[in-house]
Amino acid sequence: MNAETILKDHLLKIIDLNDEQFSYVFSHFKPMSFKKGQVIIAEGDKVSCEYFVTAGCLKSFYINDDLKMFILQFAMPGWWASDYNALYNDIKATISVDCITDAEVLCISNADREKLCSEIHAVEHFFRWRTNKGYVAAQKRLLLFMNNDAKHRYEELLNTYPQLYNIVSKQLIAAYLGVSRETLSRLYHG
Partner DNA sequence: GAAAGCATGTGACCTGCATCACATTTATAA
Partner DNA sequence: TTATAAATGTGATGCAGGTCACATGCTTTC
Positions in 75-114 near DNA (CB under 7 A): none
> Taking CB under 7 A as the rule, does residue 178 contact DNA?
yes
* Interacting residue with DNA among 21, 48, 109, 185 (CB under 7 A): 185
> Taking CB under 7 A as the rule, does residue 179 contact DNA?
yes
Question: If contact means CB under 5 to 8 A according to the sort of partner, which of DNA, a second copy, none does residue 12 touch?
Answer: none
Positions in 141-160 near a second copy (CB under 8 A): 141-143, 145-147
> Taking CB under 8 A as the rule, does residue 70 contact a second copy?
yes
> Taking CB under 7 A as the rule, does residue 189 contact DNA?
yes
> Taking CB under 7 A as the rule, does residue 149 contact DNA?
yes
Closest to DNA by CB, 162 vs 190, is: 190
DSSP for the chain, please give it: --HHHHHHHHHHTTS---HHHHHHHHTT-EEEEE-TT-EEE-TT-B--EEEEEEES-EEEEEE-TT--EEEEEEE-TT-EES-HHHHHHT-B-SSEEEESS-EEEEEEEHHHHHHHHHH-HHHHHHHHHHHHHHHHHHHHHHHHHHH--HHHHHHHHHHH-TTHHHHS-HHHHHHHHTS-HHHHHHHH--
> Taking CB under 8 A as the rule, does residue 117 contact a second copy?
yes
Find all residues with CB under 8 Å of 154, minimum gap 6, and list them.
177, 179, 184, 187, 188
> Taking CB under 7 A as the rule, does residue 38 contact DNA?
no
Backbone angles phi, psi at 31, to 5 degrees: -70, 140
Question: If contact means CB under 5 to 8 A according to the sort of partner, which of DNA, a second copy, none does residue 62 touch?
Answer: a second copy
Q: Which stretches of the chain bind a second copy, using CB under 8 A?
A: 62, 64, 68, 70, 72, 84-85, 88-89, 117-118, 121, 124-125, 127-128, 131-132, 134-136, 138-143, 145-147, 178
List residues near DNA by CB under 7 A: 66, 68, 149-151, 169-171, 178-186, 189-190
